[in-house]
Amino acid sequence: MEAAATPTPDQGLDRRRAVAALLDRLPDALVVTGLGSPTYDAFAAGPRATTFHLWGAMGGAVPVALGLALAQPDRTVLAITGDGEQLMGIGSLATVAACAPANLTIVVLDNGHYGETGMQTSHTSLGTDLPVVARGFGIAHTHTVATMEEVESLAARADERAGTVYARVVIGLHETARALPPRDGVANKNSFRAALGLETF
């Protein structure tokens, strides 16, 4: 069983570098990004029409990505979220396990803090081990990722679409400048639908 690790300011991966490497390795993936830093990190890696950014729906990244994975079974789908948002929406993992789409990979960027509300300590700093929790819900393939080599392996695993994957990526407390995508929800929705070849409205 993997022990939970709490990053310190000089430990853990650089979140922006890790996200950029993951997205670079999966150029055709459909991506749903969670509240705050995951959205900034993904947008900093370069705008993609196949990325759907969530702005104010804390806890919503995983269920939205689940629905997308079920609707687009031939595409690799990534949910990129943070530990705080995952803790808020933890119950969604039960539905993920019950549906078990082979093309869904959940990536949780875990720095042990609630980055969007003042860097308060989150429960992952207090003993909650997210991969163990995910296994308890019934997700078989769970991992802790702590090196860039493991990020590359995670991308390869996601690209195989061989079963739902849940990955906690240990990141440091590095400060990164915000990279803000457009905040027009309708435009984001229409851009994403157009990228899927669907009607926009």
CB 119 within 8 A of CB 174: no
| pLDDT for residue 72 is more than 50 | yes
| pLDDT for residue 113 is more than 80 | no
| pLDDT for residue 91 is more than 90 | yes
Residues 6+ apart with CB under 8 A from 40: 176, 178, 179, 180
Across the chain, mean pLDDT equals 88
pLDDT at 3 (0 to 100): 47
Could you give the residue ranges of the DSSP H alpha helices within 72-184? 83-88, 92-99, 130-137, 148-160
What is the band of 167 on the pLDDT scale with cuts at 50, 70, 90? very high
> What is the C-alpha to C-alpha distance for residues 167 and 109, in angstroms, rounded to an integer?
9
pLDDT at 12 (0 to 100): 87
**45 CB neighbour count, 10 Å cutoff:** 19
| pLDDT for residue 40 is more than 70 | yes
Residue pointed to by tokens 């905040």:
183
- Using DSSP's 3-state secondary structure scheme, residue 32 falls into strand
Specify the pairing of strand 104-110 against strand 77-82. parallel
Which of 125, 124, 85, 126 shows the shortest CA–CA distance to 106? 85
**In the Cβ-directed half-sphere of 108, how many Cα atoms lie within 13 Å?**
30
pLDDT at 117 (0 to 100): 62
